[in-house]
Structure 1
Amino acid sequence: MRFTHQMKGWVSIMMRSLFAGVSGLRNHQIKMDVIGNNIANINTIGFKKARANFQDVFSQNVRNSTPPTAERGGVNPLQIGLGTSLASVDNSFEQGKLQITERESDIAIQGAGFFIVNDSVQNLYTRVGTIEIDASGHFVHTATGNRLQGWLPTRSPDTGSIMIDRNKAIGDLDINGDDVRPGKKLPANATSTVHYGCNLDQSQPIGASHVTAIGVHDSLGREYSYQMRYEKMDTITWTENGETKSGNVWGYTASLPGDTPLNTPDTSTINPKPISLNLGDADGDGFTGFVVFDVSTGRVASGATAVQNGLIATADDYVDGMEIVARTNFVPSETDGGVASALPVQIYTNFDEVTEFASPMTTSAKAQNGYSLGVLETFNIDETGTITGVYSNGYKESLGQIALANFTNPSGLIKAGANMWSISTNSGLPQISAAREGGTGKISSGVLEQSNVELAAEFTDMIVTQRGFQANSRIITTADQMLQELVNLTR
């Protein structure tokens, strides 16, 4: 029997089914590759699983469609598919489970966002939060040495306090420090503010006194005992908005060791304005000031003017913003146990939380902002990504803040190895913010994010993929048998 033209057409049809089966085999093999990679990384920190998706390829038109007419209905097109192709491999950025490590430098993001690291060429993005400090003092990604990015602290020109300015560009985070920010060492800081709180007993008679003390520091970190003595001086009345009010005047005397505090303030020369005076000067006189309390409220009589027997005390003169303050200057000297080379110290004594209720004397110094030299001992990271250094002098200061990046289309990121990602034309530019801002999650320390691969789901997909592969191989063997039968017709 000759091989007719019609037989050649059948062979062509058989070849079509063979190639469809081959495309199925090829793409199911790719899907198995993706599943295998997922399972291989089930214990990889910060790994994000992937998923292979298929689509059909173009179809062969055997017959075109025809529209309906007045006499007969329309006919649908007749198409035969030519197999399958790989549509995409999507990355899933679902949250992985958190594993407690109890290592302070291990961090994880709960929610959206990526840590930003720099490999000296470009910024890369990762969910892996294994961080350490290298020999150069930089915070780095443990496995790669890429430097962690964020905002370094600066010192406020107004208050002198440490602050984070997130309007500046991000950069390498480190503990090296400089003249305006803390680092491995926290330079000594002279006391500039002392806060007092609690209560002066309103029921005490004229002449009653109370003494409290707190350690303050000069510019070289030497500590002094800064004492404040309170004495109930007088009871006065004044008129405010047509209403007669009563108040108690308390004098206070600030002193350092070696000074002679004034036992009886000179009530004839009260100057209610903040006064600058050297403590430890030749005559040994301490600084004396006055505070007036409204007896009906137990609070400092802010806004009131007390006038009695020529005694004038205006509480407003002690107001600095919303705080009641008095200013004291002293020059450190060896007599005070200090160092003569230290810079002069100016202390604002703050009474904004002092009250005068009919309760026992409990007034004490709450806080002061001076300290001696401190060496960095450890650090901790809070949920906003702020890195706080803990120093040997007991103080804590910000070392910086970790920046996070978010993307409009994180699935468009390109894998760069070592669980790092780089931007692509379809990921969008990174939207950089602090944790819990701009749609990013919070940062947890002492934990790491595990892989989001679910083993049961992967095994199920593997079974389905295996059966799909077997089915496509059966297409090939069946088509081969049919071709063999066709060839046998020629015998």
Structure 2
Amino acid sequence: MVRSMIAGVAGLKTHQSKLDVIGNNIANVNTWGFKSSSFNFADSMYSTSINGSAGNDLAGGAGGRNASQVGYGVTTGSISTSFQAGAPAPSASSLDCMIDGTGFFLVGNMINGSFTNVEESGLNLSRIGSFSVDGNGYLVDSMGSYVYGYSLVDGTGIPEKPATASKWTIKNATVTIDKTGTPNTISIGDVKVQTTKTDFKGQVQDWIAQVTKKGGGFEGFTINLENYNDGAKTVNLTIESNQKGVVQNAAGKPGDPGKITTAWGNGKNTTAPQGGTEKDNFTQTVIGANRVPGIAAEFSDELSTIQIPTDPDTGMAYNIQSYKINEDGSVVGVDEQGRTIAIGQLALITVENPNGLEKTNGYYYNIGPNAGTIEHIKANGGAAGKIRGNYLEMANVDLANEFSQMITTQRGYQANSKIITVTDQMLEELVNMKR
């Protein structure tokens, strides 16, 4: 009778443990990336009252006998985790992402340099791609751990350089034109334009010129007289330069038109007060003559932190205005000039035996001794999966299953408590036999 009470107590404890697992699953039904656990029972130790024996088929021998055993209840067999992917939930953050597959993100504290051995790195695994960029330009998760992946190969991922050549236009400038002379000089602020063409005959005239800047030096110029009317003195004066900001104001500040005056003289460098005097009449248009094409991004095969790269021209990190994570895990941004900047590529970690991972605080996993082979790969849509940007992974908790498990666990607990009650009643009857 004491054994039945021991079995009942063991049953109560074990069913309570199963209820703990169910309660934890339900509590995390809205936790991003949570993986539900299942509880498995196992028989407890046994007491053997009759040992088993083999039969003897010789003359006079006896037949075999089975062992007679009675158990001492139940205990925890195992608690396993289901790593089935949860449903995707849309996210407004462009740096949020989820793994559509079995892989894991690699996160943790800073490791200087690059490496390839994940197991010896001491880093954690995670299924939650809630990322952001910290003040130093590193990609981090919501718990402040660095996110590891593949950085740019030196000399690659450089965006195109926009054109530096510009078209400067003074709209509706009133100029004095002497058709009988040789208009060979225009003065615009501190810039003197010497034309090399001496005839003026067409309705629209092109002038090839050189500009003497304040302080010396020459820049190539093209001067276009557009919409010239024979009977009027209003024209559009357009200057195309090889460099931005060659037109200066009286203070000599590049790119600032200030008050512009224009004049044509009969072979003389005369300056008249007519012309566009408002800044609004002075516009600049990039014409692309000096555009430098970019260099396509290539990513390393070794693991490292992911950080916004540095502009080789300025030595400063690119000023990223928005981000995007592609299916192959590549993280790109758009700078203030509208250029696409490659930042890095997320790594996916494959685990031979995911149930060999050990959960820690938050949503991290440690690599346990029974996890098997650990490898890092680039997202390619295979078993490890691909990256889905602007989504987060929901918990894979099945509430219907959890509630049904809760009911059967509750009934099992009640049944074991009944065993204890009945055993107590039998002991009471035994005690009362002497009366």
Q: TM-score, normalised by structure 1?
A: 0.56
Q: Determine the C-alpha separation between the residues in 1 that align with 2:349 and 2:396.
A: 20
Q: Which amino acid aligns with 1:125?
A: L
How is 1:244-393 mapped onto 2 (pairs within 5 angstroms)?
334-335=219-220, 337-339=241-243, 369-370=292-293, 375-393=319-337
Q: Tell whether the 8 Å contact from 1:377 to 1:390 is kept in structure 2 after alignment.
A: yes
Secondary structure in 2 matching 1:402: strand
Secondary structure in 2 matching 1:93: coil
Of 26, 30, 34, the match for 1:43: 30
Asked if residue 94 in structure 1 is aligned to residue 117 in structure 2, the reply is no
Secondary structure in 2 matching 1:403: strand
Going from structure 1 to structure 2, the CA distance change for 1:334 and 1:83 (only over 3 Å counts) comes to same
How is 1:435-450 mapped onto 2 (pairs within 5 angstroms)?
435-436=379-380, 439-450=383-394
Which string of whole-angstrom CA distances, capped at 9 and with x for unpartnered residues, describes residues 392-418 of structure 1?
A: 323213110011111111111111111
Q: Determine the C-alpha separation between the residues in 2 that align with 1:88 and 1:46.
A: 22
How is 1:444-459 mapped onto 2 (pairs within 5 angstroms)?
444-459=388-403
Going from structure 1 to structure 2, the CA distance change for 1:33 and 1:145 (only over 3 Å counts) comes to same
Going from structure 1 to structure 2, the CA distance change for 1:389 and 1:44 (only over 3 Å counts) comes to same
Give the C-alpha shift of residue 335 in structure 1.
1.4
Q: Gapped runs of 5+ residues in structure 2?
A: 112-121, 168-194, 198-207, 211-216, 222-240, 245-287, 295-312
Residue 136 of structure 1 corresponds to which residue in structure 2? 136
Q: Tell whether the 8 Å contact from 2:166 to 2:243 is kept in structure 1 after alignment.
A: no
Secondary structure in 1 matching 2:6: helix
Q: Determine the C-alpha separation between the residues in 1 that align with 2:56 and 2:146.
A: 72
Q: Which amino acid aligns with 1:152?
A: S
Q: Determine the C-alpha separation between the residues in 2 that align with 1:224 and 1:370.
A: 18
Going from structure 1 to structure 2, the CA distance change for 1:74 and 1:333 (only over 3 Å counts) comes to farther
Of 358, 368, 372, the match for 1:428: 372
Of 48, 68, 71, the match for 2:55: 68
Secondary structure in 2 matching 1:461: helix
Q: Which amino acid aligns with 1:32?
A: L
Asked if residue 472 in structure 1 is aligned to residue 396 in structure 2, the reply is no
Q: Determine the C-alpha separation between the residues in 1 that align with 2:293 and 2:64.
A: 91
Which string of whole-angstrom CA distances, capped at 9 and with x for unpartnered residues, describes residues 305-334 of structure 1?
A: xxxxxxxxxxxxxxxxxxxxxxxxxxx962
Give the C-alpha shift of residue 54 in structure 1.
1.1
Q: TM-score, normalised by structure 2?
A: 0.62
Give the C-alpha shift of residue 434 in structure 1.
1.1
Q: Tell whether the 8 Å contact from 1:423 to 1:429 is kept in structure 2 after alignment.
A: no
Q: Determine the C-alpha separation between the residues in 2 that align with 1:38 and 1:100.
A: 22
Going from structure 1 to structure 2, the CA distance change for 1:334 and 1:376 (only over 3 Å counts) comes to farther
Percentage of identical aligned residues: 36
Residue 327 of structure 1 corresponds to which residue in structure 2? none
Q: Determine the C-alpha separation between the residues in 2 that align with 1:466 and 1:137.
A: 52
Going from structure 1 to structure 2, the CA distance change for 1:259 and 1:39 (only over 3 Å counts) comes to farther
Q: Which amino acid aligns with 1:145?
A: G
Secondary structure in 1 matching 2:26: helix
Q: Tell whether the 8 Å contact from 1:375 to 1:393 is kept in structure 2 after alignment.
A: no
Secondary structure in 2 matching 1:130: strand
Residue 267 of structure 2 corresponds to which residue in structure 1? none
RMSD: 3.0
Secondary structure in 2 matching 1:37: helix
Asked if residue 419 in structure 1 is aligned to residue 363 in structure 2, the reply is yes
Q: Determine the C-alpha separation between the residues in 2 that align with 1:34 and 1:223.
A: 68
Residue 165 of structure 2 corresponds to which residue in structure 1? 223
Q: Determine the C-alpha separation between the residues in 2 that align with 1:126 and 1:259.
A: 70
Q: Tell whether the 8 Å contact from 1:61 to 1:78 is kept in structure 2 after alignment.
A: yes
Give the C-alpha shift of residue 131 in structure 1.
0.7
Going from structure 1 to structure 2, the CA distance change for 1:81 and 1:333 (only over 3 Å counts) comes to farther
> What is the count of residue pairs matched by the alignment?
295
How is 1:16-165 mapped onto 2 (pairs within 5 angstroms)?
16-70=3-57, 72-120=62-110, 122-142=122-142, 144-156=143-155, 161-162=156-157
Q: Determine the C-alpha separation between the residues in 2 that align with 1:69 and 1:368.
A: 98
Give the C-alpha shift of residue 480 in structure 1.
0.8
Give the C-alpha shift of residue 87 in structure 1.
1.3
Q: Determine the C-alpha separation between the residues in 2 that align with 1:89 and 1:333.
A: 80
Secondary structure in 2 matching 1:79: strand
Give the C-alpha shift of residue 456 in structure 1.
0.7
Give the C-alpha shift of residue 154 in structure 1.
2.2
Q: Tell whether the 8 Å contact from 1:90 to 1:411 is kept in structure 2 after alignment.
A: yes
Q: Tell whether the 8 Å contact from 1:112 to 1:440 is kept in structure 2 after alignment.
A: yes
Give the C-alpha shift of residue 136 in structure 1.
1.9
Q: Determine the C-alpha separation between the residues in 2 that align with 1:58 and 1:489.
A: 32
Q: Determine the C-alpha separation between the residues in 1 that align with 2:41 and 2:360.
A: 24
Q: Tell whether the 8 Å contact from 2:165 to 2:243 is kept in structure 1 after alignment.
A: no
Q: Determine the C-alpha separation between the residues in 2 that align with 1:31 and 1:98.
A: 28
Q: Tell whether the 8 Å contact from 1:57 to 1:85 is kept in structure 2 after alignment.
A: yes
Secondary structure in 2 matching 1:439: coil
Give the C-alpha shift of residue 474 in structure 1.
0.6
Q: Tell whether the 8 Å contact from 1:333 to 1:339 is kept in structure 2 after alignment.
A: no
Q: In terms of mean alpha carbon deviation, does 82-91 or 427-436 score higher?
A: 427-436
Q: Determine the C-alpha separation between the residues in 1 that align with 2:348 and 2:375.
A: 8
Going from structure 1 to structure 2, the CA distance change for 1:482 and 1:109 (only over 3 Å counts) comes to same
